[in-house]
């Protein structure tokens, strides 16, 4: 269900962005406001474009989200303050916490809007370290940063 919801969110956001972009071009006078002259096949082209957006939106969640293991050893109680400070320094705020699982959200409203409210990062303590789940572009730097922070505790990140 989460996958379908993400795909629908991305489809709507792509459509809104392109509509806004075309509206600006029309207002500036770069293109005609008539759909029949704006696109070579008129409304039929709009349908083809919508299908293309639907395909991209359906595929993106496969590659846009992932889980990675951060190789950080130690007791959760000892590591928790370091994880909290690291995530706060990266612009995240603790949303919820259960046992050895923490969920963070972006502090920036603008960042949340551009990521279609899919900015949640989940960090869960596992046997080999922390399992970090979220947007691919956020997960990789967080994993590398956590590993660096706990391997070099004398340096603050």
Write out the chain's pLDDT in tens, 157 residues: 788 988 898 899 899 999 999 999 999 988 888 888 888 888 898 899 999 999 999 998 888 888 999 988 888 888 889 899 999 999 999 999 888 899 999 998 888 888 888 888 999 998 888 999 998 888 999 999 998 888 876 655 5
- Residue that is last in its domain, among 63, 93, 114: 63
Residue the block writes with tokens 């972009």: 21
Residues 52 and 83 in one domain: no
Phi/psi of residue 72, nearest 5 degrees: -125, 115
> Is the residue at 30 inside a domain?
yes
Query: How high is the pLDDT of residue 122?
Result: 93
Residue the block writes with tokens 């596992």: 126
C-beta of residue 133 within 8 angstroms of C-beta of residue 65: yes
Query: How high is the pLDDT of residue 154?
Result: 62
Residues 77 and 137 in one domain: yes
Domain of 23?
2-63
Residues 46 and 23 in one domain: yes
Residue the block writes with tokens 């919820």: 96
Q: Between 76-89 and 136-151, two packed helices, what is the crossing angle to 10 degrees?
A: 120
Residues 54 and 81 in one domain: no
C-beta of residue 121 within 8 angstroms of C-beta of residue 131: no
Residues 69 and 145 in one domain: yes
Query: How high is the pLDDT of residue 20?
Result: 94
Return d(Cα 118, Cα 104) in angstroms, integer. Answer: 11
Query: How high is the pLDDT of residue 153?
Result: 61
Residues 117 and 72 in one domain: yes
> Is the residue at 135 inside a domain?
yes
The two most distant CA atoms of the chain are separated, in Å, by 65
Nearest CA-CA partner of 131 in 151, 152, 102? 102
User: For the whole model, what pTM was predicted?
Assistant: 0.73
Residues 128 and 83 in one domain: yes
105 DSSP β-pair partners: 93
- Domains in the chain: how many in total? 2
- Residue that is last in its domain, among 27, 43, 63: 63
């Amino acid at each position: 269900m989460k996958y379908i919801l993400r795909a629908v969110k991305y489809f709507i956001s792509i459509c809104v962005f392109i509509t806004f972009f075309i509206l600006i071009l029309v207002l500036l006078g770069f293109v005609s406001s008539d759909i029949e002259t704006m696109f070579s096949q008129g409304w039929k082209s709009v349908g083809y474009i919508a299908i293309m957006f639907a395909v991209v939106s359906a595929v993106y969640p496969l590659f846009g989200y992932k889980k990675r293991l951060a190789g950080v050893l130690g007791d959760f109680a000892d590591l928790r303050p370091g994880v909290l400070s690291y995530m706060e320094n990266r612009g995240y705020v603790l949303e919820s916490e259960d046992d050895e699982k923490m969920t963070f959200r972006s502090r920036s409203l603008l960042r949340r809007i551009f990521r279609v409210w899919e900015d949640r990062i989940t960090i869960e303590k596992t046997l080999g370290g922390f399992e970090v789940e979220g947007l691919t572009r956020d997960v990789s730097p967080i994993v590398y940063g956590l590993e660096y922070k706990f391997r070099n505790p004398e340096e603050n990140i």
